[in-house]
Chain A
Amino acid sequence: MRYLPLLLLAAAWEAIVQLGLVSHDLLPSLSEVLKAGWTLLREGDLWANGAASLYRTGLGLLLAIVVGAALGILMAWWRAVDAFLGPLVEALYPMPKSALIPVTVLWLGFGDGSKILLIFLGCMLPVTLGAYNGARSCEQALVWSARSLGASRLGVLWDVVLPSALPELANGVRTALALAFVLLVSSELIVARAGLGYLIGFLGEGGIYDAMFAVVLVVAFLGFFADRLYLLLVKRAFAWRE
């Protein structure tokens, strides 16, 4: 199986701690970590903080996708919008979004709001770019066919341009998804009172390292599984592609 090396890694981890090669204060054994994780799950800490994190990520991403896609398609379709907003998008592109963490905190404090805003602002860019490129690649013949079959000028945007843009938009959303997790964890590690990132910091400061490791792994694999799940959904949705 392709992922066998990961199992080997896990086994090696357990082994080197059990054998005393590494101090178990620095690196709790895998079994200890799993046990601590299970306790967290049972006691509800994982759920409560996990829910907060997922809520923030979900809402921020949703807003980014809806606004970003609409923006990208409008920019691709109307020169005027492109001329006005294009330079703005270009100038903001190289700006590292995590640098906005202190600003969002300044504006909205330590709660959900600052995280959602951060994710919304940060993730909008790859979505807009994907929608823009996707819409531009829409074939003229498709638009003309739709028009000759009775579609209005606006109707064409919805009937033809948006579906044509979907594959590249989906790519942009994939990037945004990974970015959302990074922004979430970053901001929760630094400026939060709830959430998985906050939980990691809290456990670390309290010296409860086995639980801390557990949550780190949860977060890391959350990002991984979200990506895989997304790919699966996209594959099904785009079954019509060659």
Chain B
Amino acid sequence: MLRLAPWISVLGIALAWEVFARSGAVTPFMLPRLSVVLARIWTDAAAGDLWHHLGLTLYRSLTGFAVAALAGIALGFAVAYNRAARWLLDPLISVGFPMPKIAFLPIITLWLGFHDLSKISMVVFDAIFPVLTATIAATLAVERELLWSARNLGASERELLHEVVFPAALPQIMTGLQVSLPIALIVCIVAEMKLGGVGLGGAMITASRFADSPGVFAGIVEIAVAGYVLVRLMALARARLLAWHPETAAPASV
């Protein structure tokens, strides 16, 4: 019964939306009916537009996420193991973290143009931070006793990294990835809104320019659903990869 609870709340909101929109308290422009918005999504899907936009957004954000993940983990290990790297990068990371990195979009656009590359790069720039900090923290925290036992049993430095440090650090790294994925999605969408063109963000901003209210709300619903699906997939991946971890029963929520 508890598993149904989130669905009940979504249903409740959907109902409230429809009722409120029909009530006449607000104009259809300000809040189109949910039924109208859903119908719009349907037509967009049938016409193929939805898949076109969604596909591009997913391609850009997931590519950016993948690069951020790999680079973040690799860099994170490097920083954790190398004093010099840590000294060099630590201030950059701690200063960069609270910065609104989206402000750098115009610079990235200047360097890399208006197409996919700049959007993906923006995603990487923003999404790498949570992965980096999580990896560094996790690696540094791997218990000494674990390492000593492994060394004692004859593991080499390389084996140590693969077989002990990485699995031990994995839960926290996964959390970093789980934080990073929604960031990748939204940064991509904001970049698309700025740069226009095709993609969920571009479509939404075009809709708002044409005062196409159902189009704008359709975009919100599509993004919300896409975000939700990605977060769920991540949670599933986490459960699979960390099946051995006691915490799998109650995974870290994002």
Do A and B touch (CB < 8 Å)? yes
Residues of A within 8 A of B (CB): 2-6, 8-9, 26, 86-88, 90-91, 94-103, 105-107, 177-178, 181-182, 184-186, 189-191, 197, 200-201, 204, 209, 212-213, 216, 219-221, 223-224, 226-228
Q: Identify which of B92, B104, B186, B223 contacts A6 (C-beta below 8 A).
A: B92
Q: Are B109 and A204 in contact (CB under 8 A)?
A: yes
Q: Are A190 and B190 in contact (CB under 8 A)?
A: yes
Task: Report the Cα distance A8→B217, complex, angstroms.
Answer: 47
**Smallest CB–CB gap between B207 and chain A, Å?**
7
Q: Are B99 and A87 in contact (CB under 8 A)?
A: no
Q: Are A209 and B110 in contact (CB under 8 A)?
A: yes
Task: Report the Cα distance A141→B4, complex, angstroms.
Answer: 35
By beta carbon, the residue of chain A nearest B111 is A26
CB-CB under 8 A from A8, the residues of chain B are 88
CB-CB under 8 A from A197, the residues of chain B are 103
CB-CB under 8 A from A209, the residues of chain B are 110
Q: Identify which of A26, A105, A177, A189 contacts B208 (C-beta below 8 A).
A: A105
Q: What bracket does the count of chain B residues touching chain A fall in? A: 35 or more
Given contacts A94-B224, A99-B220, 4 further A-B contacts (CB under 8 A): A5-B89, A91-B10, A182-B102, A201-B194
**Smallest CB–CB gap between A109 and chain B, Å?**
11
Q: Are B100 and A201 in contact (CB under 8 A)?
A: no
Q: A99-B224, A220-B104 are in contact. Are A2 and B216 (CB under 8 A)?
A: no
Judge whether B107 is part of the interface by a CB distance below 8 angstroms. yes
Q: Identify which of A94, A105, A185, A213 contacts B102 (C-beta below 8 A).
A: A185
**Smallest CB–CB gap between B169 and chain A, Å?**
24
Judge whether B2 is part of the interface by a CB distance below 8 angstroms. no
**Smallest CB–CB gap between A83 and chain B, Å?**
10
Q: Which of A184, A185, A227 has the most C-beta atoms of chain B within 10 angstroms of its own C-beta?
A: A185
Q: Are A184 and B219 in contact (CB under 8 A)?
A: no
CB-CB under 8 A from B6, the residues of chain A are 87, 90-91
**Smallest CB–CB gap between A27 and chain B, Å?**
8
Q: A96-B182, A103-B217 are in contact. Are A200 and B106 (CB under 8 A)?
A: yes
Q: Are B13 and A200 in contact (CB under 8 A)?
A: no
A-facing mask of B77-108, CB < 8 A → 1, else 0? 00000000001111110010011111111110
Q: A9-B92, A87-B5, A91-B9 are in contact. Are A102 and B102 (CB under 8 A)?
A: no
Q: Are A87 and B9 in contact (CB under 8 A)?
A: yes
CB-CB under 8 A from A102, the residues of chain B are 193, 204-205, 207-208, 216, 219
> From residue 166 to 193 of chain B, which have CB atoms closer than 8 A to chain A?
182, 185-186, 189-190, 193
CB-CB under 8 A from A100, the residues of chain B are 220
Judge whether B197 is part of the interface by a CB distance below 8 angstroms. no
Q: Identify which of A96, A97, A185 contacts B185 (C-beta below 8 A).
A: A96
Q: A5-B88, A91-B9, A189-B194 are in contact. Are A106 and B208 (CB under 8 A)?
A: yes
Q: A87-B8, A91-B6 are in contact. Are A204 and B110 (CB under 8 A)?
A: yes
Task: Report the Cα distance A43→B194, complex, angstroms.
Answer: 27
Task: Report the Cα distance A102→B200, complex, angstroms.
Answer: 12
**Smallest CB–CB gap between B17 and chain A, Å?**
11
Task: Report the Cα distance A203→B230, complex, angstroms.
Answer: 36
Q: Are A87 and B110 in contact (CB under 8 A)?
A: no
Q: Are A220 and B99 in contact (CB under 8 A)?
A: yes
**Smallest CB–CB gap between A227 and chain B, Å?**
4
By beta carbon, the residue of chain A nearest B89 is A5
Judge whether B231 is part of the interface by a CB distance below 8 angstroms. yes
A-facing mask of B101-126, CB < 8 A → 1, else 0? 11111110111000000000000000
**Smallest CB–CB gap between B236 and chain A, Å?**
15
Q: Are B190 and A186 in contact (CB under 8 A)?
A: yes
Q: A200-B106, A204-B110 are in contact. Are A184 and B88 (CB under 8 A)?
A: no
Judge whether B251 is part of the interface by a CB distance below 8 angstroms. no
CB-CB under 8 A from A178, the residues of chain B are 98, 100
Q: Which of B87, B90, B217, B224 has the most C-beta atoms of chain A within 10 angstroms of its own C-beta?
A: B224
CB-CB under 8 A from B194, the residues of chain A are 189-190, 201
Task: Report the Cα distance A90→B223, complex, angstroms.
Answer: 16
Judge whether B250 is part of the interface by a CB distance below 8 angstroms. no
CB-CB under 8 A from A185, the residues of chain B are 100, 102-103
**Smallest CB–CB gap between B34 and chain A, Å?**
14
Judge whether B228 is part of the interface by a CB distance below 8 angstroms. yes
By beta carbon, the residue of chain B nearest A197 is B103
**Smallest CB–CB gap between B229 and chain A, Å?**
10
Q: Are A190 and B98 in contact (CB under 8 A)?
A: no
Task: Report the Cα distance A106→B28, complex, angstroms.
Answer: 12
